[in-house]
Amino acid sequence: MTSGTTVALPHIRFMTRRDCCLCDDAKAVVVAAVEQGLCTWEAVNVDTDKALLVRYGMDVPVLVCEDKVLFKHRVTETELQDALLQIQNGEMA
């Protein structure tokens, strides 16, 4: 790697809400990807934003990257890793 070259990691916006067991499962997958250095992330509680609540409502969890929905409801570690690698390689349109 050339000195001074920085590769920006994909950033996941994790749409979630309280007391959501699917969200808990998906969060573990996202945290594992972060720990592997594949992405950064932030949790967004859709209940605190009316527009997000209308948009995502009962579809949580939703993983969004670069304004694109990557996954709704369920995601596996392999699925997320594959999607993140596609994003990093510029393959995801």
What is the pLDDT at residue 6? Answer: 64
What is the pLDDT at residue 16? Answer: 97
What is the pLDDT at residue 38? Answer: 95
Q: How far is CA 83 from the centre of its chain?
A: 10
pLDDT above 70 for 2: no
Dihedral sign (CA 25, 87, 41, 60): negative
What is the pLDDT at residue 1? Answer: 47
Check: pTM over 0.85? Answer yes or no.
yes
Instruction: For 35-76, write each residue's pLDDT tens digit.
Output: 999 999 999 999 999 999 999 988 999 999 999 999 999 999
Q: Reduce the DSSP state of residue 19 to 3 states and report it.
A: coil
